[in-house]
Amino acid sequence: MELPRNAFKAALGRGRPQIGLWLGLADAYASELCASTGFDWLVIDAEHAPNDVRSVLAQLQAVAPYPTHAVVRTASGEATLLKQYLDIGAQTLLVPMVESAPQAAAIVAATRYPPAGVRGVGSALARASRWGQVSEYLHRCEQELCVLVQVESTAGLKNLPAIAATEGVEGVLFGPADLAGALGVLGKPADPRVQDAIAQGIQTVRTAGKAAGVLSADPTLARKYLDAGALFVAVGIDTTLLVRAARDLRALFAEPVDAPRPRGKG
């Protein structure tokens, strides 16, 4: 059996922009629906959405038949947690709140088998190896693994050159919401200070020869980041899309305040 190919990683290596969607509904049926809509990549969020290892597994299975790539955002860079997501078949991990090169290096080490890293060797139990049926999985899996880290604090921005230069880190994603808080403008990800920090960060990551990414549900800002050189940009969130569509639909049938109401009988 062949090792599944990571088309997302290959596209980044070729410099091809990848447009993504964030998934926070924590439901395999909803994730499959989104997988059918043509996005290059989908983020299964296990940091802020109510996901666990089993719900992420169900979504990986639901998305697998479609020509889109599932990225799992973990709750942390804890090695045991990363091992579990890798074993259930995630090939791209996005780790939040990375603030230093040593932290980034430890995350990479958690995705590598010894002697290159500290990932536990349990591939016979793992979906990732198709339960031991992928030829030479232990020696070849690293070829198709993609480690992405998030920089979303002032410490992360300060150490960005070293973080981006860390061997094994394929890309850096900037989190506008957390950066806004860190820069003193909480709730204002479109603030010029946040935009400037991200634009400069994109250039720093590109200088290191790595891919830069951003999450922005504002189409104007998303295009701005793409024009600045970001290669993987998530342009929406499923929860936001559903709430907006539902509110807009309800608004079409909003009842005027002074509308007459039918009288009850009796």
Question: Would the pLDDT of 45 be above 80?
Answer: yes
Question: Would the pLDDT of 100 be above 90?
Answer: yes
- Catalytic pick from 5, 48, 140, 158? 48
Q: What is the pLDDT of residues 104-114, one digit of tens each?
A: 999 999 999 99
- With a pLDDT cut of 90, the percent of the chain lying above it is 95
Average pLDDT of span 216-237: 97
Question: Would the pLDDT of 165 be above 90?
Answer: yes
Average pLDDT of span 221-229: 97
Picking from 139, 138, 112, 108, the residue whose alpha carbon sits closest to that of residue 124 is 138
- With a pLDDT cut of 70, the percent of the chain lying above it is 96
Q: What is the pLDDT of residues 12-36, one digit of tens each?
A: 999 999 999 999 999 999 999 999 9
Question: Given this model, what pLDDT does residue 255 score?
Answer: 76
Question: Would the pLDDT of 265 be above 90?
Answer: no
Amino acid at 115: P
Average pLDDT of span 86-109: 98
Question: Given this model, what pLDDT does residue 67 score?
Answer: 97
- Contact status, residue 44 vs residue 74, Cβ threshold 8 Å: no
How far, CA to CA in Å, does 144 sit from each of 58, 98, 112? Answer: 21, 22, 12
Average pLDDT score over the chain: 95
Question: Would the pLDDT of 262 be above 70?
Answer: no
Strand stretches in 164-247, DSSP E:
169-174, 211-215, 232-237
Long-range contacts of 152-159 (CB under 8 A, 24+ apart): 152/96, 152/97, 152/177, 152/178, 152/179, 152/182, 153/97, 153/99, 153/178, 153/179, 153/182, 154/182, 154/183, 155/99, 155/100, 156/97, 156/98, 156/99, 157/197, 157/201, 159/99, 159/100, 159/101
Q: How does residue 151 score in pLDDT terms, banded at 50, 70 and 90?
A: very high
Question: Would the pLDDT of 175 be above 80?
Answer: yes
Question: Would the pLDDT of 56 be above 60?
Answer: yes
Average pLDDT of span 156-179: 97
Note if 48 is an active site residue.
yes
Question: Given this model, what pLDDT does residue 257 score?
Answer: 58
Average pLDDT of span 76-98: 98
Average pLDDT of span 89-101: 98
CA 72 to chain centre: 6
Q: How does residue 43 score in pLDDT terms, banded at 50, 70 and 90?
A: very high
Question: Would the pLDDT of 238 be above 70?
Answer: yes
Question: Would the pLDDT of 73 be above 70?
Answer: yes
* Separation CA 147–CA 216 (nearest Å): 20
